[in-house]
Chains A and B, each alone.
Chain A
Amino acid sequence: MADAKWMLKMAARDFRKTGTKLVLFVSAIVTGIAALVAISSFGDNLRKDIDRQAKELLGADLVLSNNADFGIDDLDTLSAERAREINFASMVAFPGKGESRLTQVRALEGDFPFYGSFEAEPEQSESDFRAGGKKALVEQLLLKQFDAKVGDSIKVGEVVFEIAGALTKVPGQTGITATVAPAVYIPMEYLEETGLVQFGSRVNYLRYFALTGQEDAPEIIEAYKEHWEEEGIRYEDVEARKQSTGRSFGNLSNFLSLVAFIAVLLGCVGVASAINVFVKEKLPSVAVLRCLGVTAAKIFGIYLMQIFIMGGIGSLVGAGLGTALQYVLPLVFSDFLPVEVTVELSWSAIMLGTGTGILISLLFALIPLLKIRTVSPMMTLRPEAATIRFGKDPLRWAVVGLIVLFMVGFSYYLLRNWEQTFWFTGYVFFAFGLLWMIALGIMKLVKRFLPLWMAYPFRQALANLYRPNNQTVALIATIGLGTAMISTLFFVQYQLLDEVRFADKEDQPNMLFFDIQTSQVEAVSQKLTDADLPILQEVPIVTMRLNAVNGINKRVNEQLPEEEKRSGGLYNREFRVTYRDELISSERIVKGELVPYLEPGDSIFVSLEKGYAERNRLEIGDEIVFNVQGRPMTTYVGSYRDVNFRQVSTNFLVVFPEKVLENAPKFHVLITKTGSDQEAANLQNEIVRDFPNVSVINLATIVDTLEEILGKISFVIQFMALFSIITGVLVLISSLIISKFQRIKENILLRTIGAGTKVLVKINTLEYLFLGSLAALSGILLSIIAAALLSIYTFEIPFRMEWALLGAVYLGITALTVFLGWWNSRDILKTSTMEVLRD
């Protein structure tokens, strides 16, 4: 106890004079911990809010849906309130503006939502809408896009509705959903008049129930489940919605925590770097203390205490900052949130952040700090005795092991998936390792091949990269990793957008008409021909579900052992299939063959997309029973096709042979290529005017939508990445300050022997130019590797270099490093040469 008290006293004494250097180390962890606490707090609050607002998320106690109309009379007696919705994708037009857009039309009957409400402007618009008449509630985003306002008209199919209100929030829907397919609510009584629901149309029928309370939703689901599944009816209650929403946002929150974790790791490099310099300066004092009879353990304790206290302070400051930051997060994430998020203090997040901060401070400080144990008291007599055989210290390797364990453990805690944990930690180690090797390699190369023919400032600046007390490794690691993160983010965003734009540039189809009735095919084709546009494809599409594979239906599949179970998605998916006996240009047979259906009674052989078949373990010869809109149809897997989904064409997971589905309810798709955006817009408006049920997608709209969505996503990721950048800048600044004292001595000596300010500025600028360049280039190299891996393996698109982007990142990061280096060296240049005598 007395020893601990004395150690604490010594720690306090030491801190008085050198505490400012430890403050630098604290600053390195503050931003990372702030990001971690902010995201964890936000995740906690979001989880609580999803629990609290679960009923509002669904808007009802129970929702049933199917792609064919259905009645549930039994439930009608159990429910206090009922509502019906029929929704489908359709074009809408704004009369007078001559423009149209694909939306989700929702015909509503009843008082849905029973819990929560539509949020619309003006306030009375919902009651106006429900009062009756040809009135529509339209998503605000759509109104803004077409410069329309409440009171204007909107044409849905054949009917013109008055816009009663601008919807700002639909229960359970996020801003992103609205970007993809904005909703237009119309009263059910006018649905038929619109003429949009026809034979073969892709329509969802929904029934909403508010229960009386005699039986709750899980009990009802249990009682009716089997029957509904046979009928292909999907069901969802509050608990199920809560879980699925919670899961999605849990994943989002964990992903963002991972981004914050990277900022924390960058801070760790700063910690190790600051403590390394701190320890180097302390070695003579350690030797004196050893002479005076202080044991190695006690000395180690004195410095460890300082780090523990400073790490704790840094973590608490970070936690405080993070808690304050979560007030901003709901604004950042507004487009992704289905519920109102309340901001509350999250003690679990604060404890997580503080604990993590202290732990990483200690772990990363331990590596340099362990050196203290091996300092010989002989160093007081001979400074060269400081040479420490540290490489073989088993404790050092134990600490490295602990760091690896911590990183893997923490990543798993955030990801809850061993494979992802392996890839994430693997890449982080690879990145750090690569940066470390690059830094060491550069130092060695410069030392070995320092070009003596170069002008003095160049040589001096280059030599500064490897001389004692250099910050080359720390700076290349932190700036490099920060650059890699930002650059990868931009890279992937550009790759995805380029992929879509690229498709537009090539001589490929760029306009797609769908939901065309069989009776309309000829007329729509004629329109295209009249406009001198080619009909590149005309494809019939039939929607169906899958009942069973080799006799195993959804219910049996769920009871199978995990390793035998097929994905539930196989049974829940609505398949859109076509029929033909030939291949198209974007596909080729890789196994089996296309078997035509010759006469009634023959087996029906379908062709599956290879990847989908393999993911779902569907083998050649397997029996698949499809439910073609109520009618079971037994088929067999006849072949696998390799499909190039990059081409803008109608590609299918399942292709039937001809002469099987001809009489099934279906719709048609027509694909063409227009010359200009204006030509595309004119054609779109003309088709929508003449055939209101036909939907149109043109590539320009997809690019716009994708740009908007990616813009929103990247804003969130960039916001999180900002913490890494700030951490990188802080580590950079602290490294500069640490090396400042060393530099002051050198600069004074150089000035004493006649170097002018100009020369010194040149040396400083060049040194940071080299450091910034090397760090930025190393980071860019890492980002190229990461972006290439993501493009090829995750997005399955070819990888393309983005030279302009890389150039911009390189210039930005290098300029920032040079600027901060210059800013830091202003004092150095001002110091009087008299210091050399005084020293």
Chain B
Amino acid sequence: MGNEDFYPSKMNILQVQNLTKTYQSGNRKLTVLDGVTFEVMPGETLSIVGPSGSGKTTLLGLCAGLDTASAGSVLLDGEPLEKMSEDQRALLRNRSVGFIFQNFQLLPTLTALENVMVPLELKGRKDAQKVALNLLDQVGLADRATHYPTQLSGGEQQRVSIARAFANEPKILFADEPTGNLDTETGEMIEGLIFKLNEEKGTTLILVTHDLELAQKTQQIINIKGGKLQEVTHG
């Protein structure tokens, strides 16, 4: 199927077609992703599962426009990522995408409040501080707003990260092992928070996880092995 046939389908929030990623390692060509195709409807939740080194994180990065594919196409919120420059993709991320990382990725020089404010400020929102405080309140951290990441526990940092991810009211949220660095209890609390906010805001959720229990909570599961899509399970 050519790209021309593919792009008109704008109903999906994410449409992945024949996605391939290869790396050159010396004389060897490494294929990390090999012809992956799937699609996600707005508001849907999807998890990507598979063993370590299977290509899950690469797939997430390509879908979110963090990296460029070697072949194939990604249509994110109706925009063909392969035709966009890095700065255009950055603007799209700011407009439509939110991220939650395994290692939280808060900016260490900014307070919790400022971390949440950044996406709002980028959009030029005058009420950035008010909205950010409200979000921190929703994740139960209003009283820690002026703390720096190093002054927060892992669970608290991830809650700030969730607040930041929802700050710009993204259409799609990408989460890479969001509970991977947390203990079971905190992990469950974070899962709850993600799904709750996701439901409230009607956001699409794409989740990379090892945790099959967590994956079961999403509407669609795609299983990757050796860079190839093994199966798609609908919940």
Contacts and interface: CB of A to CB of B under 8 A. Distances in A.
Contacts of B124: 2
Contacts of B121: 6, 9
B59 to A, nearest CB: 11
Give the size range of A's interface with the partner: 20 to 34
Interface in A372-420: 376-378, 380-382, 385
A284 interface: yes
Given A285-B107, A292-B93, A293-B91, A378 B122 contact: no
B94 A294 contact: yes
Contacts of A376: 66-67
A376 B64 CA distance: 13
Interface string B170-182: 0000001000000
A292 B118 contact: yes
Interface string A291-304: 11111110000000
Contacts of A9: 121
A19 to B, nearest CB: 9
Interface string A206-234: 00000000000000000000000000000
Contacts of B64: 291
B170 to A, nearest CB: 10
A10 B114 CA distance: 9
A378 B67 contact: yes
B87 interface: yes
B109 A291 contact: no
A291 B99 contact: yes
A295 B91 contact: yes
Interface string A161-182: 0000000000000000000000
Given A288-B105, A293-B97, A376-B66, 16 more contacts: A6-B121, A16-B109, A287-B105, A288-B106, A290-B66, A290-B86, A290-B90, A291-B93, A292-B93, A292-B119, A293-B94, A295-B91, A296-B87, A380-B101, A381-B61, A382-B61
A382 to B, nearest CB: 6
A144 interface: no
A409 to B, nearest CB: 34
B101 A381 contact: yes
Contacts of A10: 118
A381 B109 CA distance: 20
Contacts of A285: 107-109
Contacts of A292: 93-94, 99, 118-119, 122, 164
13 contacts: A6-B122, A13-B109, A13-B110, A290-B66, A291-B105, A293-B94, A293-B122, A293-B168, A295-B90, A377-B67, A377-B93, A381-B101, A381-B176
Nearest to A14: B109
Most A C-beta atoms less than 10 A away, residue of B66, B67, B168: B66
A35 B174 CA distance: 55
Contact of A17 (B87, B92, B119, B148): B148
A488 to B, nearest CB: 44
B138 to A, nearest CB: 19
Contacts of A2: 124
A685 B168 CA distance: 99
A284 B105 CA distance: 8
B124 to A, nearest CB: 6
A381 B60 contact: yes
A381 B108 CA distance: 17
A210 to B, nearest CB: 72
A378 B21 CA distance: 14
A382 B94 contact: no
Given A378-B66, A378-B67, A381-B60, A294 B122 contact: yes
B57 interface: yes
Contacts of B114: 13
A742 interface: no
Given A291-B66, A377-B66, A381-B57, A17 B91 contact: no
Contacts of A681: none
B90 A381 contact: no
A18 interface: yes
Interface in A263-301: 284-285, 287-297
Nearest to B109: A17
Interface of A: 2, 6, 9-10, 13-14, 16-18, 284-285, 287-297, 376-378, 380-382, 385
Interface in B108-154: 108-110, 114, 118-119, 121-122, 124, 148
B95 interface: yes
Give the size range of B's interface with the partner: 20 to 34
B18 to A, nearest CB: 20
Contacts of A291: 64, 66, 93, 99, 105
Contacts of A381: 57, 60-61, 66, 101, 176
A289 B94 contact: no
A293 B170 CA distance: 12
A68 B60 CA distance: 98
Contacts of A378: 61, 66-67
A544 to B, nearest CB: 79
Contacts of B164: 292
Contacts of B105: 284, 287-288, 291, 380
A185 to B, nearest CB: 72
B57 A293 contact: no
Interface string B49-65: 00000000100110010
B121 to A, nearest CB: 6
A284 B109 CA distance: 12
Contacts of B95: 293
A287 B97 CA distance: 15
Given A293-B90, A376-B67, A18 B122 contact: no
Contacts of A6: 121-122
Most B C-beta atoms less than 10 A away, residue of A6, A13, A289: A13
B108 A382 contact: no
Contacts of B107: 285, 288-289
A23 to B, nearest CB: 15
Nearest to A288: B105
A257 B29 CA distance: 57
Contacts of A293: 90-95, 97, 119, 122, 168
B93 A17 contact: no
B90 to A, nearest CB: 5
A296 B91 CA distance: 11
A139 to B, nearest CB: 66
Nearest to A379: B66
Interface in B70-113: 86-87, 90-95, 97, 99, 101, 105-110
A805 B180 CA distance: 63
Most B C-beta atoms less than 10 A away, residue of A9, A288, A289, A296: A288
A571 B194 CA distance: 95
A503 to B, nearest CB: 66
A376 B164 CA distance: 20
Contacts of A17: 108-109, 148
A835 to B, nearest CB: 13
A295 B93 contact: no
A291 B67 CA distance: 11
Contacts of A16: 109
A376 B93 CA distance: 14
A252 to B, nearest CB: 48
Nearest to A291: B99
Nearest to A385: B67
Contacts of A380: 66, 99, 101, 105
A290 B107 CA distance: 12
A2 B164 CA distance: 21
Nearest to B208: A381
A377 B92 CA distance: 13
B86 A296 contact: yes
A393 to B, nearest CB: 15
Contacts of A290: 66, 86, 90
Nearest to B56: A381
A10 B111 CA distance: 12
Nearest to A18: B109
A297 B87 contact: yes
